[in-house]
Structure 1
Amino acid sequence: MVKLKLGPIVDERPVKVTLELPAALHRDLVAYAEILASETGQPVTDPIRLVVPMLERFIATDRGFSSIRRRST
């Protein structure tokens, strides 16, 4: 079994964001949502709901960003 970087998606109050995605990226998000649902046993979530946790995970694991942020605070 493959270990995905995202875990279950927490249901939080939605915030409306307008964003245009390339079609290929949207297809990848749909596929990721389907795989995540099968891995976590949750229903398939709207692929757009993956964007925030993915960005949070990216920022949390970006060592360069973390280093600069620590120095600037």
Structure 2
Amino acid sequence: MVKKMVENMTAVFNKYVNNERGAQALEWVALGLVVLAVMAAVATAVEGNGSSIANAIVEKIAELIGKM
């Protein structure tokens, strides 16, 4: 009887632990938010008075794109 109860509890536990549905979607949403945050930071820096920070960011992004 105890053995059957432990087996049932283990099966229920494994059902919830092994369920990874939606985990990949959550990762893509998080990645999208990071990209949006970086784009917002760059847009804010570029809209400034042409500061050296904005120029450095634009140059680094252009450099990264050029390496691809």
TM-score, structure 1 normalization: 0.29
Which has the larger share of helix? Answer: 2
The structure, 1 or 2, with the larger RCO (C-alpha pairs under 8 Å, 6+ apart) is 1
Larger radius of gyration: 2
TM-score, structure 2 normalization: 0.31
